[in-house]
Structure 1
Amino acid sequence: MVQHSDRPLRESVRKGLTLALLVALVPLMGCEPRGKAPGGRSAGLACPRPQAFLTSQEFNAQEQQLRALRQQAFAGDFFAQIDLARRYGGQEAEARKTYDPVEAAVWYELALANPDGFAPIVTARQNRRLGGARLEDCRQAERLGAFNGLEHLLGRMSSDERQEVRDRVIYVLSTQGAEGFRTLARLHDVGFGPFGDPNEASPIEPRKLEGRRLPAAATLFTRNDMDVYQFNYLAAQSGDVAGFVMLKDFERSSPGRAALGSDAEAKAKRWTPPFEFYPPEAPESGVPHSDESAPSGEAAALALARLDELPFLHVGHALAFLQVIPKPILTKAELSTTEAQTFQAMLGRPMTGRLSPLEEVRAIQYAAVSGQARSQLTLAVMYAEGVGLPRDYARAFYWFSQADRQGSPEAKYAMSTFFSLGMEGVADQDKASAVVYQIDGALAGFKPSAQRLRELLAQVSRAPRT
């Protein structure tokens, strides 16, 4: 069933406003020459854009500027993605102490994969008003500069650093929903260029793609049909018509691809993003990389609205584990303004002194990622029940398994429930495993029973309906 929303309208309005801004600016500014890109090559002509942020080195100013750019970049703004990459990897990054080659590579890759960088955005009539092909030419120059910057950075990275770039790119695209999944499918598809773009629009010269030694930027994502099918399937599952069409076209393209169906669907149902939230690491400046993905859709809004069903005690335990507070607290009122600001600073969010519902969810996610079994179990139930986060059985299964590895008897029994009931998103339905887990749970001092699981669910969310 196709889900209807106002997002296409909002996107149309946003792009319309962007075009209107460019129409107004180009006659006045034209395409301005830009300095050399990282690696020493000229970045060519830069597309006109509103006045750049001041290049202050003050911590608070840098934090505000970077956060504003990240908000636009997470939302898919092509120019913000390029400007953000330059902020982290350009010549001035060292002076500002914002230099972070992995983060710079992430945003160059996302800009190169962004359709706004290569898809036509003006009609022939509008192009004549803008003075010919200048707007299209400067976008090509922006992409060429981004490619040169990415190539320069990747050429100096270890395999682990390149994997970190891939993981961060995948996470950001996964937060964009169906559009991001379609981009991920193209990045893995041999039918497209190295950045999911049409081959004729690639910033890499064709002769460089024909030799055995490909540019590093062309090999960041491995081409394979399984991932193409998986990401198109994830897009289609969200109700996206374009994702469904791409999936069917992909299936019809060859018998071998059609045969991937059942395996790729099973893999897609188990798929989880590389991160729970964007890693809030920080370069020398101390400004953390904030997660600016905006929860969207009815399911996300409903899940956050239900967060009150989760006793604040669990947030308190997470904050104590993260050493934000000296000991667990029972109520939100016990959390001081300074303590709330400390945690908000860790996330790179505005330090209002009062945690938002999303920041309370982040506390549990942060503690779970950092290895606290209690928070891992809580997070698993939140995903299973749709409290604070949209219901996602694949993620619930993942966090139950993480808590299970740490010896949580409740997690062991929950895992057996997943196996034996065949929850959606869990491919392994081996009932023999259920028996093993139940016995294992009993040996850990926990007597598995339906009543005990009901009590567990009631403790961390709501009592399940019977």
Structure 2
Amino acid sequence: MGVALMAGLCLSTSLSGCDNMDWRWLQGRKAGVDGQYACPRPPEPFQTQGFNGQEREIRYYRHLAFSNDFFAQLELANRYSAADASDKNLEDHIESSVWLVMALANQQGYAPMSRAMDPRGGVLASRYDKCRAFERERAYRILNNELSMMDSGERDKVRDRVIYIQSTLGADGFRTLGRLYDDQYGPMGEPADNQQAIRAMMRGRNYGTSNVRTLFERSDVDAYLYNYKASETGDVGAYVLLKDFEKSAPSRTRYASFVESKARRWTSPYEFYPPDAPPGGVPHSDESRPDDGASYALSRMEELPFIHVVRALDYLNLLNVACFEPKDVPKQTIDALRSMIGMPGGERLTYLDRVRAIQLAAVNGDSRSQLVLAVMYSEGVGVEVDYARAFYWYQQAEKQGSPEARYAMSTYFDLGVKGVADQDKAESVVMQLDAALAGFKPSAGRLQAVLAQVSRTPEN
């Protein structure tokens, strides 16, 4: 479904190659009424009818779109905008805008794929490049119109969902976010000399897209932050680009220490993609793909006492029988949990189901699940180690009066976790005192050790 498949289809006998295709053949091809120059879409791999068929299609496209497939992202945007009457139940302009942004920011949509020699001299864009240019220009126009009808809260949702999806793509995703905030690139992170970017920056109703231009306000700090996050993944190319970014403007190097601290505290906007859905529509599912580290962390879920999963399910009102092992969880509970997170039902509770149950309970305010999730992030059980995210969930649990969370936060300040919670012995003592007074026993013995260490610290 991606560019490679698209290029392969262009070489098929039915199309006779992109550069020789009959452009009239493209009229009306899944791009709306004005899509006479749209790129031809690969055939769908299945024939479906009814709601179940529609749900299967949506999940199929989301799976591809989360892996950054340009044409799947366009198709999802089309489906959520309800361009066809059969998709009216899917109509969701926030979700449509998300996938329009993802497509416009996707290099698959604007990186030159093939060029043709002009007999008069020079190089011409291939028809494949031209059809993608048409798709992007149309996407700009539709996105600008959709954003014009949104309030600031709805725009924030679009932006946060894009940030979440890009953060699941590793170094490439963070680099894309860096370009979205960098004033040296086009509105959607494409090269500034890209024709669609130039038109989007024009003033006037024919080309200008003022609403798109303001979705990601240009910010050196944010651009630096996401380039730094890309380099943190260990990607060599991201590190080189970070150094190029620092040298690209004299003022940027002065942000270095501030951005490093900010990056260490950075957390994704969501625990998992918001499973909202319009009435009667298919819930939004999170189709992000775990890397090797995430898969290993998920395999460690056996180490987490199952009672914590049971408590989370109980908090969510999904359990009405006693359960001591995963096999005891009834199918109706599994189906109900999965429907809440936009996934199809199943016969058994998987490791991911257990993680999602705790995450969902934590997001919905269960202090015990918040504490458990913080420990999971601290230890790399079920989720990859992320001290910033762990500290965030300790904070959420502590706000609800959890003495255990307050004690855990004290250890952060006692030991010092660089960039997340700098070492602060006095703050550690205060937190441990509070936890001890609240009846959390481990604090009592540890408090004496911390007090002794503080008392030996020479005064300044």
Tell me the TM-score range normalised by the shorter chain: 0.7 to 0.9
C-alpha deviations, 1:48-94, integer Å up to 9, x for none?
Answer: 22124789672211111100000000000000000000000032257
Whole-angstrom CA distance in 1 between matches of 2:172 and 2:445:
42
Distance 1:71 1:452, change over 3 A: farther
SS at match of 1:329: coil
Which AA in structure 2 matches 1:187? L
Structure-2 separation of matches of 1:427 and 1:163: 28
Percent identity over the alignment is 49
Deviation string for 1:126-179 (max 9, x for gaps)? Answer: xxxxx9721000000111111111111101001100000000000000011111
Change (3 A) 1:452 1:79: farther
1:151 aligns with 2:141: no
Per-residue CA deviations over 1:21-54 (Å, capped at 9, x if unaligned) read 332264276551247978x8x3451112212478
Q: How does 1:423-462 map to 2 (within 5 A)?
A: 423-449=417-443
- Do residues 383 (structure 1) and 372 (structure 2) align? no
- Summarize the alignment of residues 231-250 of structure 1 with structure 2, pairs less than 5 Å apart: 231-250=226-245
Please, which of 326, 332, 353 is the counterpart of residue 359 of structure 1? 353
Tell me if structure 2 keeps the 8 A contact 1:113–1:183: yes
Q: Write out aligned runs for 1:340-419 (5 A).
A: 340-419=334-413
Matches within 5 A, 1:333-344: 333-344=327-338
Q: Over alpha carbons, which structure has the higher Rg?
A: 2
Cα distance in 1 for residues equivalent to 2:30 and 2:294: 43
2:10 to 22, 25, 35: 22
CA distance in 1, matches of 2:405, 2:275: 28
Partner of 2:16, secondary structure, is helix
Match of 2:76 in 1: 84
- Taking a change above 3 Å as real, the CA distance of residues 36 and 205 of structure 1, as seen in their structure-2 partners, is farther
**Secondary structure of 1:278's aligned partner:** coil
Quick one: distance in 2 between partners of 1:30 and 1:214? 31
* Map of 2:314 onto structure 1: 320
Do the aligned partners of 2:362 and 2:370 also contact (CA within 8 Å) in 1?
yes
- CA shift, 1:296, in A, is 1.0
The answer to whether the aligner puts 1:307 opposite 2:295 as a matched pair is no
Deviation at 1:250, TM superposition (A): 1.1
The 1-side partners of 2:371 and 2:259 are apart by 28
Distance 2:446 2:425 in 1: 20
One-letter code of the match for 1:265?
Answer: E
| Residue equivalent to 1:10 | none
Aligned mates of 1:289, 1:57 — CA distance in 2? 20
Question: Pairwise mapping of residues 38-57 of structure 1 onto structure 2 (< 5 A)?
Answer: 42-52=34-44
Counterpart in the other structure of 1:329: 323
Question: How big is the shift at 1:19?
Answer: 2.4
User: 1:8 — aligned with what?
Assistant: none
Separation in structure 1 between the aligned mates of residue 73 and residue 395 of structure 2, nearest angstrom: 36
In structure 2, relative to structure 1, the CA distance for the partners of 1:259 and 1:121 (3 Å cut) is same
1:86-138 deviation line (CA, Å, top 9, x unaligned): 0000322575410000000000000000000001123558xxxxx97210000
Letter in 2 for 1:372: D
Which deviates further from its counterpart, 45-54 or 142-151?
45-54
What letter is aligned with 1:377? L
SS in 1 for 2:90: coil
Instruction: State the TM-score, normalizing by the size of structure 1.
Output: 0.86
SS of residue paired to 1:236:
helix
- Structure 1: which 5+ runs fail to align? 1-12, 126-130, 454-466
CA shift, 1:323, in A, is 1.3
Q: Deviations over 1:366-418 (max 9, x none)?
A: 11111101111010000000011111111111111111111111000000111
- Residue equivalent to 1:58: 50
Change beyond 3 A, Cα 1:424–1:400: same
User: Aligned letter for 1:27?
Assistant: S
Partners of 1:154 and 1:229 in 2: CA distance: 26
Residues 33, 46 of structure 1: 8 Å contact kept:
yes
Deviations 1:219-256 (A, max 9, x none): 11011111111111111111112211111011112332
- Code of the residue aligned with 1:285 in structure 2: it is G
Q: CA deviation at 1:196?
A: 0.3
- The answer as to 2:112 corresponding to 1:120 is yes
SS in 2 for 1:273: coil
Alignment partner, residue 176 of structure 2: 183
* Contact map agreement 1:88 1:103 (CA 8 A) in 2: yes
2:127 and 2:364 map into 1 onto residues whose CA distance is 50
Residues 341, 354 of structure 1: 8 Å contact kept:
no
Aligned partners of 2:386 and 2:298: how far apart in 1?
14
Question: Does residue 134 in structure 1 map to residue 127 in structure 2?
Answer: yes
Q: TM-score, normalising length from structure 2?
A: 0.88
Q: Partner residue of 2:62?
A: 70
Q: Residues 14 and 286 from structure 1, CA distance in 2 versus in 1: closer, same or farther, beyond 3 angstroms?
A: closer
Judged with a 3 Å threshold, the aligned counterparts in structure 2 of structure 1 residues 425 and 43 are, in CA distance, closer, same or farther, namely: farther
Distance in 2, matches of 1:347 and 1:440, equals 37
SS at match of 2:289: coil
From 264, 271, 276, give the equivalent of 1:276.
Answer: 271
- Give the Cα separation in 2 of the matches to 1:77 and 1:450: 55
Matched, 1:97 2:89: yes
Helix, strand or coil at the partner of 2:187: coil
Name the CA distance, whole Å, in 2 between partners of 1:250 and 1:169.
22
Inter-partner Cα distance in structure 1 for 2:103 and 2:173: 12
* Alpha-carbon contact 2:29-2:35 (below 8 Å) kept: yes
Q: CA deviation at 1:354?
A: 1.3
Retained in 2: the 8 A contact 1:365–1:379?
yes
Q: What is the CA–CA distance in structure 2 between the aligned matches of 1:437 and 1:94, rounded to whole Å?
A: 57
